[in-house]
Amino acid sequence: MKDVREEERDFGFARVYAVELKYKRQPELDRNFLYEKVERYTGKIEQPEQQETDAAGLAVWEADEVDKDNMIHFFHLNYMVQYAEGEMPAQTSLMNMDNRPASDYETAIQQSWHWQEAAQTLHECNYSLLLVDMMASGLDPKSRLQLFTGVLQAVLEAAPCDAIYFRESDRLVEPKAYLAAIEEGALLYGAMNIRFYNVEGTGSGRAEGLMDSIGLAALGIPDVQCHYYDLDPDEVAGHLANIGYYLFNQGDIINDGETIGFTEDMRWRCEHQYALAAPHRVVIDIDPGEPYYAGRQGYIQEEN
């Protein structure tokens, strides 16, 4: 039988959730201001004692006697996780990281239809911070993302960045657009990425495409995909986004063989499968019916 970690890898679950904040100039951070903002958005927190401050204004937390990492660490007392040994607060950490070149984000740039300046912005960034959660994977998906979003909002207000990269959804977002979306209640903005691929070489002679979401499986919810002929990509993208939010809000409650629809004529059949496009994870495959469903025709590479 598979152990828990093998099952999580099979599903695409992220035990640690991570976002990179990219800066054109070295960020400066007022630690007390950040603490106030984090408490405002996530409730009561505790931090390990800060020992010293580095050049960027980040606290240096002595994790143990041997290993020192430049980080600010939060214990979130309003987000308790139950373990066999008892309760433990979910945690988040903000730390310095080596800046990665724009070429490292090529797949995210290719799918950045919503932000045409993404590539140029990354080329101009020379500094990076990394925000992660720890001991938070036991939270339900919505609570986990709400916690992470609150801390990210606080960091963006304390040290505004030029680009945000969500590792789990392989998505680049513009910080002001992200904050505006979160303010409107779009909690999955950034956390869920709707991708589009032109499918060629299958010999169908028809307009064939694959659209999927990425980012939900990392939170413990199936992603969604649709492999189709002759449908409007914008319409498919809208349906997949709506289904993604439905799953995020309601959980994985769609059974194989059931149909879903947002109009009177829409009856798209659902089935849990493995994704056609990387990374390996569980998705709900959406079948729009004849003559539109392209089915499973082998693994589709990362091309668009």
Q: Tens digit of pLDDT for each residue in 243-257?
A: 999 999 999 999 999
Length of the chain: 304
What is the C-alpha separation between 219 and 239, in angstroms, rounded?
20
From 236-240, 263-267, 283-287, the region with the lowest mean pLDDT? 263-267
In the predicted model, is pLDDT for residue 299 greater than 80? Answer: no
164-188: per-residue pLDDT in tens? 999 999 999 999 999 999 999 999 9
Please tell me which residue, 131 or 301, carries the higher pLDDT value: 131
50-100: per-residue pLDDT in tens? 434 443 444 333 333 333 347 899 999 999 998 878 899 999 999 999 999
196-205: per-residue pLDDT in tens? 998 875 666 7
Task: Indicate the SS3 state at residue 148.
Answer: helix
Token pair recorded at residue 273: 């499968």
Instruction: Please count the other Cβ atoms lying within 10 Å of the Cβ belonging to residue 291.
Output: 10
SS3 letters for 64-86? Answer: CCCCEEEEEEEEEEEEEEEECCE
Contact 118, 163 (CB under 8 A): yes
For 189, which DSSP code? B
pLDDT, residue 167, reads 97
In the predicted model, is pLDDT for residue 239 greater than 90? Answer: yes
For 159, which DSSP code? S
Instruction: Please count the other Cβ atoms lying within 10 Å of the Cβ belonging to residue 30.
Output: 12
214-230: per-residue pLDDT in tens? 999 999 999 999 999 98
What is the C-alpha separation between 140 and 58, in angstroms, rounded?
30
In the predicted model, is pLDDT for residue 113 greater than 60? Answer: yes
Strands 259-260 and 268-274: antiparallel
Buried b vs exposed e over 229-251: b needs ≥16 C-beta within 10 Å? Answer: bebebeebbebbbebbeebbeee
Task: Dump strand ranges (E) for 157-222.
Answer: 163-166, 171-173, 193-198, 208-214
pLDDT, residue 51, reads 39
Please tell me which residue, 277 or 58, carries the higher pLDDT value: 277
Our CA dihedral for 214, 153, 112, 228, rounded to 10 degrees, sits at 30
In the predicted model, is pLDDT for residue 156 greater than 80? Answer: yes
Residue 10 phi, psi dihedral angles, 5° rounding: -65, -40
